Amino acid sequence: MADRYQKLTSGGAGGFLAKRLGLPQPEPLRRHLPGAPAFPGPIVLGGQPSGRVQKSLHSQLAAAGAEVETGTEPRDGHRPDALVFDATGIRDSDQLHALHTFFHPRVRSLAASGRLLVIGTPPEHTTTAREAAAQRALEGFVRSAGKELKRGATAQLLLVAPGSEEAIESTTRFVLSPRSAYVSGQVLVVDGDRGGVPQSWDLPLEGKTAVVTGASRGIGEVIAATLARDGAHVVCLDIAAQSEQLRAVAERIGGSALELDVTAEDAPQALARELRERRGGADIVVHNAGITRDKTLGRMSRDRWDSVLAVNLSSVERLNDRLLDEKDPVVAEGGRIVCVSSISGIAGNVGQTNYAASKAGLIGHVRSLAPYTAGRGVTVNAVAPGFIETQMTAQVPLFIREAGRRLNSMKQGGQPVDVAEAVAYFASPASGAVTGQVLRVCGQGLLGA
C-alpha cells in the first residue's frame, strides 16, 4: 500500500519543505535481501570485563562473517553498523555509567538503519536487589535510545539467562540484521539451552512443514512466502471465499492450499487430519487469520463481538488444544507456535473493544501455554504488529491512518515482510530458548508500552 507522504518527503522540494517545517521525514528502511550477508557492516562490541555474553557473542559473530571490533576508540568518519554492549556484568546502579561511556561518543556515528543492542540479565535471575534495579534500568535506557535514534536505526534489549549464552545466535542474527527493520525499543529474553545452530542459516526451515492461517493475502501471504523462502513446505490455509487467491499463493511458493474456516465446529479435527495425511504432522503453526468489526462499545452488536472473538481467539485455542493434544500431538517435538496479536491488544484502541480483547487474550494464551509445551521443546510466541500497510489498514479513515503511520519512532507504517521476518525468527529451530514472548513489530509505536 502506498505511503504518499513518505515518497513526497524523501527528497526534492517536498524533502526540503518537510525539513524547514520540522515535519517527520521517514527514512526508507533497509530490509533483508536474499543472499545478502547476515551482518551488513562493522559491529563495535563492548562490555564490562565481568560480562557473561561478550566472549561467546564475539565468536558467533566472527564465525558468521561479521566484522567485529572490540576495544577500539571512536574515530572520525567511522560509521559502525551496530553498537553492542554486554551489560550483564553490571551489578549496581553506580556501574550504569558504563553505558554512557560506551554509547555517548559513538551513538551519533551509527549508520542509517544501524543497530543499538544492550545485553543484560533477566531481573528475576539476578541475586541482589541492587543488581535487579541496575538490570531493569537497561530497559528504560534502551526504550529512550530507540526514541532518539534517527535514520531508521533501532535499539533493543536482549536479556540472557545465566547458562543461555550459547543459545542467543538466532536472536542476535535477527536484531542486528535488516530482518528487524521495523522492530525497535523491544525486550527479548533468551532462557534455556535449546538454542542450537540450524544446518544452514540460509535455509533454516528445510524439511519442515508449516501451516499459516489466513495465508491468501496481506500479512499471512507474506509470512507463508517468507517461511517458504527459509525452506519450509507451507500449507496455506484460508476460507473458501478466498479460494482463487489462496491457490495462487500456494502455487507461487511451492506449498499447498487448504480451504478451511478456522471457526468451523470440526476445524481442529479437519486440520489435524489434513496435516497428518498430507505431511505426517506439522513443525510450525502460525495463527495469522484475523478480522476486525470495529464499533464503539455502546454501538457494537453482539454479532460483531462474537465473530471477532471466534476468529481471533477461540479458534486459536481450539486448534492448539487439538494440535498439541498430549495423547495424540500433531505438532512435532521441537515445534513452533506463533500467534499474530496486535498492539491494540496491548494498548487498546477506540472502536476495538472486541478486537483488543481477542488480541490481548492471545497474549495470555501464549504466556500460559509456553511452560506446558516446553517439555516437548515446543515454543509458543506472539508477534504484535503495529500499523502495517495492508488491505486491512487501507480501509482505516485517512486521518487515523496518517496518525497510525507517523506515531512511531520510524515515522512510517511497517510492511507485511517485517511481521513475517519476526515470525520466521520465532519459527527457526535455533530459537528453542525463546518462548512465551510477545514481540512488537511496530516501529516503537507511541501507543502501549
Q: Which residues bind ligand NAD (CB under 6 A)?
A: 213-214, 216-220, 238-239, 242, 261-263, 288-291, 311, 340, 342, 385, 387-388, 390-393
CB closer to ligand NAD, 141 vs 387: 387
| Alpha carbons 305 and 434: distance in angstroms, whole number | 33
Cell numbers linked to 22: 520540522
Task: From 114, 162, 157, select the one nearest 138 (Cα to Cα).
Answer: 157
Q: DSSP code of 346?
A: H
Phi, psi of 370 (to 5 degrees): -50, -50
Which member of 5, 182, 355, 425 is catalytic?
Answer: 355
| Alpha carbons 105 and 86: distance in angstroms, whole number | 17
DSSP per-residue letters across 331-344: EEEEEEEEEE--TH
- Minimum distance between the CB of residue 247 and ligand NAD, rounded to whole angstroms? 13
CB closer to ligand NAD, 80 vs 386: 386
- Minimum distance between the CB of residue 26 and ligand NAD, rounded to whole angstroms? 16
CB closer to ligand NAD, 227 vs 289: 289
CB closer to ligand NAD, 316 vs 330: 316
> Do 261 and 246 touch, CB atoms closer than 8 A?
no
- Minimum distance between the CB of residue 175 and ligand NAD, rounded to whole angstroms? 21
Task: Outline where 36-153 has alpha helix (H).
Answer: 54-63, 97-103, 129-148
Phi, psi of 431 (to 5 degrees): -100, 30
Cell numbers linked to 334: 521441537
Task: From 434, 415, 171, 205, select the one nearest 442 (Cα to Cα).
Answer: 415
Q: Specify the residue for cell string 543488581.
A: 131
| Alpha carbons 200 and 429: distance in angstroms, whole number | 11
- Minimum distance between the CB of residue 6 and ligand NAD, rounded to whole angstroms? 16
* 3-class SS of residue 237: strand
CB closer to ligand NAD, 341 vs 431: 341
CB closer to ligand NAD, 197 vs 447: 447
- Minimum distance between the CB of residue 230 and ligand NAD, rounded to whole angstroms? 19
b/e string for 196-232 if b means 16 or more Cβ within 10 A? bebeeeeebbeebbbbbbbbbbbbbbbbbbbbbbbbb
| Alpha carbons 421 and 441: distance in angstroms, whole number | 10
Query: CA 399: distance to chain centroid?
Result: 27
CB closer to ligand NAD, 177 vs 315: 315
DSSP per-residue letters across 276-312: HHHHSSEEEEEE---------GGG--HHHHHHHHIII
Strand ranges of the sheet holding 282-287, from the earlier edge strand across to the other edge: 256-259, 233-238, 209-213, 282-287, 331-340, 379-385, 438-441
CB closer to ligand NAD, 173 vs 287: 287
- Minimum distance between the CB of residue 112 and ligand NAD, rounded to whole angstroms? 25
Our answer to whether residue 425 is catalytic in this structure is: no
- Minimum distance between the CB of residue 67 and ligand NAD, rounded to whole angstroms? 36
- Minimum distance between the CB of residue 369 and ligand NAD, rounded to whole angstroms? 18
- Catalytically active residues are 355
